[in-house]
Amino acid sequence: MAITLVNPSGLPEIDVYRQVSIATGSKLVHIAGQVAWDADGVTVGEGDLAAQVEQCYLNIGTALAGVGGSFDDVAKLNVHVVDWTPDKMPLLLDGIARAAAKLGVTPTPPVTLLGVAALDVPEHLVEIEAAAVLD
């Protein structure tokens, strides 16, 4: 495994992610921002943030598997949520938990959460991009 996730002393421990990832692999993988499209390009979970987060994570899992990786190889995630407010956190966490259960992982790499005004099309509520390192 090319990624080690840590919470250095002096930084807060956050349950859903680690503060730092240490990458030691030889292949850097950048995954385009994933939205809630299924394999046919149809939006999944229109109007449902948790369902869309779940689909984004599943798409990242599919992209990683396609290049010989998994969520264990993710060094960093960037999450963009339309009209973000803190009251949406339970929906975000629910979507992550549902995807984690389906993928059989606990995705805890460092993550940046950004509120945005809009994404590519009005029905998309979230877009998630990932960077991974493979051996």
Tell me which amino acid residue 130 is. Answer: A
* Helices vs strands, H then E, count in the chain: 2, 6
Centre a 10 Å sphere on the Cβ of residue 130 and count the other Cβ atoms it contains.
29
C-alpha dihedral (1, 6, 133, 119), degrees to nearest 10: 140
70 pLDDT band (50/70/90 cuts)? very high
As given in the structure block, the two tokens for residue 88 are 């949406």
Whole-number pLDDT of residue 15: 86
pTM for the predicted model, two decimal places: 0.92
The model's pLDDT over 78-103, given as tens digits with 9 standing for 90+, comes to 999 999 999 999 999 999 999 999 99
The model's pLDDT over 9-45, given as tens digits with 9 standing for 90+, comes to 999 998 889 999 999 988 999 999 999 999 999 999 9
CA dist., res. 116 & res. 35, Å (int):
14
Whole-number pLDDT of residue 107: 85
CA dist., res. 85 & res. 92, Å (int):
11
Contact between residue 109 and residue 77 where contact means Cβ atoms under 8 Å apart: yes
Q: Cα 21 to chain center, whole Å? A: 14
Give yes or no for residue 72 having a pLDDT over 80: yes
Percent of the chain with pLDDT over 70: 99
CA dist., res. 10 & res. 91, Å (int):
29
